[in-house]
Structure 1
Amino acid sequence: MSPRWEPNPDIRTGRHCVHDLSAHLVFVTKYRRDALTGPMLERCEQIMKEVCEKFDCELTEFTGEHDHVHLLVRYPPKVALSSLVNSLKGVSARYLRQEYSVHVRTHLWGGHFWSRSYYAGSTGDANKATVRTYLQSQDQTQK
């Protein structure tokens, strides 16, 4: 960074690049079943934060309802978003199935947790505040 620039905490730097990449991700439970509870959403957020850290990413917002979750993720250019999504869904499904097996088995079957599809939307500077406000207004399932 040039010494003439004021440091901006929203802009990240790498060895050869300056970036501010973020994506709004939405994962839906298989068959859109109401499989998520409040404690499961809290645990899901913890798991997804850990996965993001391993990818050198930051989970800046997380919220969810009974049948889906929203994430706002900041990521470096070296990360393929599809690889991050694959790990987020795979790791969270494995842990949630293990830790809440009785509850999950009553709502989901066939070894699946998340739907194969997902939503990924890029967020620009003008749009980021709007997405954050939207995510914070979503109904977090009560404990």
Structure 2
Amino acid sequence: MHWCHDRNLRYSPGRQAVWECHAHLVFVTKYRRGVFTDEILRDCETIMRDVCDKFGCELREFNGEDDHVHLLISFPATVQLSRLINSLKGVSSRHLRRDHADHLDYYLWGGHLWSRSYYCGTAGGAPLSTITEYVQSQRRPI
């Protein structure tokens, strides 16, 4: 089988398929509370990057504001996005609530960090550079 590709695009080969999958994810805090500081967002990025690595994914961009985060992820076609999302939210919630309990407990209660809902859009219509710029342009708290 012959695969035509542009050298500027990154395709990931598998045993029987070649893929280029990207998702733009947005997670919102419970009650849309403005709980994030720059320090918490840095920790959140580290945690989410580790989760992505364990799933064989790449966290290409991460940013957020005081009440939500944006992620741009490259993932293999074999990854079930709902499982990845559940792990990203669950692991980050546990670690951030443990490491920043005093701050987060002031704003949130009931052991929750994230709203149950989320946004997931596959990045195929807009160029990745456009999505990258959008994620980078978030008004991160100081």
TM-score range, shorter-chain basis?
Answer: over 0.9
How high is the TM-score relative to the length of structure 2? Answer: 0.93
Structure 1 residue 5: Cα displacement: 6.0
**Matching residue of 1:49:** 49
Is there any run of 5+ residues in structure 2 with no aligned partner, and where?
Answer: none
1:94 aligns with 2:94: yes
Aligned-residue offset at 1:124: 1.1
In structure 1, the residue matched to 2:118 is: 118
Shift of 1:90: 0.2
Q: Report the equivalent of 2:33.
A: 33
Gapped runs of 5+ residues in structure 1?
none
Q: What's 1:71 paired with?
A: 71
Q: What is the alpha-carbon distance in structure 2 between the residues aligned to residue 30 and residue 71 of structure 1? A: 18
Instruction: Calculate the TM-score normalised by the size of structure 1.
Output: 0.92
Letter of the aligned partner of 1:123 in structure 2?
Answer: A
Q: CA RMSD in A?
A: 1.8
Report sequence identity in percent: 52
**Shift, 1:128, TM fit:** 1.8
Cα gap change, 1:4/1:118 in structure 2, threshold over 3 Å: closer, same or farther?
closer
Q: CA deviation at 1:60?
A: 0.1
CA 20–5 in structure 1, closer or farther in 2 if over 3 Å, else same: closer
Paired with 1:141 and 1:31, the residues of 2 have a C-alpha distance of: 18
Rounded Cα–Cα distance in structure 1 between residues aligned with 2:27 and 2:3: 41
Aligned AA for 2:90?
G
CA distance in 1, matches of 2:84, 2:64: 19
Is 2:125 the counterpart of 1:132?
no
Aligned partner of residue 23 in structure 2, secondary structure: strand
Distance in 2, Cα, partners of 1:115 & 1:88: 13
Tell me the CA shift for residue 127 of structure 1.
Answer: 3.0
- Check 1:125–1:13 CA distance in 2 against 1; reply closer, same or farther (3 A cut): farther
Amino acid at match of 1:109: W
Give the number of aligned pairs: 142
Q: Shift in Å at residue 3 of structure 1?
A: 9.2
73-82 vs 132-141, greater mean Cα deviation: 132-141
